[in-house]
């Protein structure tokens, strides 16, 4: 497979290749592999959470309530550290 990169990105890859001593193709392959691994993990998490909501195991929280809970937990953590 042949990839065409924008000049700016190609320059970054070449720079990383020079700095690390690794071939540019190897760096690109590692980056793409990592990207797809992260996407797969995210998709599995989203599927699992969706299944938990549909089954009733987990109740969804609306946006403002989620922000309130996060702020409460952060404040509690700050108090426990101080």
Cα–Cα distance, 29 to 40 (Å, whole number)? 16
User: What pLDDT was estimated at residue 56?
Assistant: 95
Asked if 18 contacts 28 with a C-beta cutoff of 8 angstroms, the reply is no
DSSP 8-state symbol, 82: -
Confidence of residue 10 (pLDDT cuts 50, 70, 90): very high
> Average pLDDT in the 13-37 region?
97
pLDDT over 90 at 82, yes or no: no
Q: Which two tokens stand for residue 64?
A: 């403002």
The pTM is what? 0.65
- CA separation, residue 15 to residues 12, 18, 20, 29, 81 (Å): 5, 5, 9, 16, 42
């Amino acid at each position: 497979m042949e990839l065409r990169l924008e000049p700016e990105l190609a320059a970054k890859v070449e720079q990383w290749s020079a700095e690390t001593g690794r071939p540019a193709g190897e760096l690109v392959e590692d980056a793409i592999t990592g990207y797809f691994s992260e996407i797969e993990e995210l998709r599995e998490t989203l599927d699992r959470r969706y299944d938990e909501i549909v089954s009733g195991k987990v109740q969804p929280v609306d946006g403002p309530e989620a922000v309130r809970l996060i702020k409460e937990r952060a404040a509690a953590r700050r108090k426990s550290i101080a």
